[in-house]
Each structure stands twice: as C-alpha cells, then as structure tokens.
C-alpha cells in the first residue's frame, strides 16, 4: 500500500530529531551586515545492517542579515521517488548543541532507531523543512510538502524563509532527514509495522535516515 500525503498535529510534534557529523562555522568578511554560515555532513542514523539505510549528504544553514534563514540539503542514497520529511531539531533558546543518535539509541533492541529513541539526542522540532507553506512543527509529517528523492535516490533542497526559532538557533540545530524503504518495494508500507507516532503512519515513513550538526 502506497502512503498518501498526510498531515498530523500532536503526534507529529514528537518527531523531533536532528543529527549529523562534522561541522564548521564561518562568517563572511564583508564589512556590511554579517552572514553566519554553518555547514554539516549528514550521516546515517541507522546501523549498516538495516537495509537501504546508508544515505549520506551535507547541509548548510545561513543566518542572513535581513532576518531570514537559508537552508540547503543534499543527500544521496535515499528511497527513490518518495517524499522525505526533514526538520531542524534542537532546544529553543538553549546555547547547547544537541547531537545525533549513536549505537546506544535503540533502546527497545529491535534493530532500528525510531523517532522517539532519537529525541534525547537531537531534541524537538523547531522547523519543518517543507518546500512551501507552513514550516512550524505542525507540518512535521506533511509529506505532500516535503522534497521527493529522484530516481537515483538524490534529494536536493533549498529554501530561504522567516522563522524565529530557526534564526535564533541556527548555530546549534541538528538537521534530520526521515524515510526509509526497508523492503525496497518503492512505497512506504506497513510491512515493518506502524510508526510509534501513530498506528496510521508506516514506520518506514518516519524512521530517521540521516542526521548532522555541530556537536557531531
């Protein structure tokens, strides 16, 4: 069964994550207003033994002088032709960078790190990286407005937007991209069971795929 686009409210707010690896921060030298730019690698959240889970990529977050934020994401190895929910995760107003899940995150020992198991590492959702419209945590699972990977599993995303939480926490957020086609059948289905966020959502659609941030 192919998953149709859906929008969730309360349960989606639990979809908090953001985890990555190496990171760097740079500031341009223009004597006018400064642009703060943070670049991270995006690395797999799941163990290598999990099928179709070893995507990799990179992201850049720019805090612009006009009060806007620009986020770009490039990932290879994702499930082709499927939408991938993406978010900025963290703790609003906290100066501390969180982190990405490690090998100890799978607390129920089912071989997968789900959204809630990643929560203590990357924090809650601050911004939903949709392609259009609302970008608040309320759009955490609005799959009809998240980017879709191409035939080779490549995802390319860029959006410049106004979002107070993203602007205030640009230097400490984690970026998390979700969605794994575990059985390789080209759809998000229920063969692996429902998501812990709700029985109406396939686990495949919400599993964190890659993550990155300064702490990593």
* Average pLDDT score over residue span 185-203: 95
Contact by Cβ (8 Å): 64, 126:
no
Domain that holds residue 202: 11-213
Residues 114-167 pLDDT 10s: 999 999 999 999 999 999 999 999 999 999 999 999 999 999 999 999 988 899
pLDDT reported for residue 45? 96
pLDDT tens sequence across 4-24: 333 333 344 344 333 333 333
Q: State the pLDDT at residue 50.
A: 96
Q: Is residue 4 part of a domain?
A: no
Mean pLDDT of the chain: 84
Q: What values do phi and psi take at 205, rounded to 5? A: -70, -25
Residue 98 pLDDT level (bands cut at 50, 70, 90): confident
1 part of a folded domain? no
* Residue 113 belongs to some domain of the structure: yes
pLDDT category of residue 170 using cuts at 50, 70 and 90:
confident
Half-sphere exposure of 204 toward its Cβ, with a 13 Å CA cutoff? 23
Kindly state the average pLDDT of the residues 105-117: 94
Rounded Cα gap, residues 135 and 153, in angstroms? 24
pLDDT of res. 196: 95
Q: Give the whole-angstrom CA distance, residue 180 versus residue 18.
A: 16
| CATH number of the domain encompassing residue 176 | 2.60.40
Is 2 contained in some domain? Answer: no
In this predicted structure, the answer to whether residue 42 has a pLDDT above a threshold of 60 is yes
Residue 184 falls within a domain, yes or no?
yes
For the chain, percent of residues with pLDDT exceeding 70: 81
Across the range 59-75, mean pLDDT stands at 94
Mean pLDDT of 42-59: 96
CA angle 162, 55, 195 (to 5 degrees): 75
User: Does residue 176 lie in a domain region?
Assistant: yes
The total domain count for the chain is 1
Closest by alpha carbon to 170, among 158, 162, 180?
A: 162
Ramachandran category for residue 17: left, alpha or beta (phi over 0 → left; psi -120 to 50 → alpha)? beta
| Domain membership flag for residue 5 | no
Domain membership of residue 95 (yes or no) is: yes
CB 140 within 8 A of CB 13: yes
pTM over 0.85: no
Tell me the CA distances in angstroms from 122 to 9, 44, 171, one per residue in order. Answer: 20, 14, 14
What is the rounded CA–CA span in Å between residue 7 and residue 139?
A: 6
* Predicted local confidence at residue 115, as pLDDT: 95
Q: Is the pLDDT of residue 30 over 70?
A: no
Average pLDDT over residues 182-203: 95
């Amino acid at each position: 069964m192919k998953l149709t686009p859906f929008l969730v409210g309360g349960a989606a707010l639990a979809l908090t994550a953001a985890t990555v690896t190496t990171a760097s921060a740079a500031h341009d030298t223009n004597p006018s207003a400064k642009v703060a730019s943070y670049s991270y690698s995006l690395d797999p959240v799941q163990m290598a033994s999990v099928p179709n889970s070893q995507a990799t990529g990179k992201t850049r977050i720019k805090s612009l002088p006009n009060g806007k934020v620009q986020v770009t994401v490039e990932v290879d190895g994702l499930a082709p032709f499927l939408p991938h929910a993406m978010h900025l995760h963290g703790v609003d107003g906290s100066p501390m960078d969180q982190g990405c899940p490690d090998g100890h995150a799978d607390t129920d020992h089912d071989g997968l790190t789900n959204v809630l198991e990643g929560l203590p590492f990357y924090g809650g959702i601050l911004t939903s990286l949709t392609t259009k419209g609302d970008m608040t945590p309320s759009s955490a699972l609005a799959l009809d407005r998240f980017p879709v990977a191409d035939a080779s599993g490549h995802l390319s995303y860029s959006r410049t937007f106004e979002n107070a939480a993203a602007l205030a926490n640009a230097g400490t957020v984690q970026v998390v991209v979700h969605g794994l086609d575990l059985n390789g059948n080209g759809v998000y289905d229920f063969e692996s069971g429902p998501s812990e966020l709700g029985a109406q959502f396939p686990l495949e659609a919400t599993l964190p795929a890659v993550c990155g941030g300064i702490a990593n």
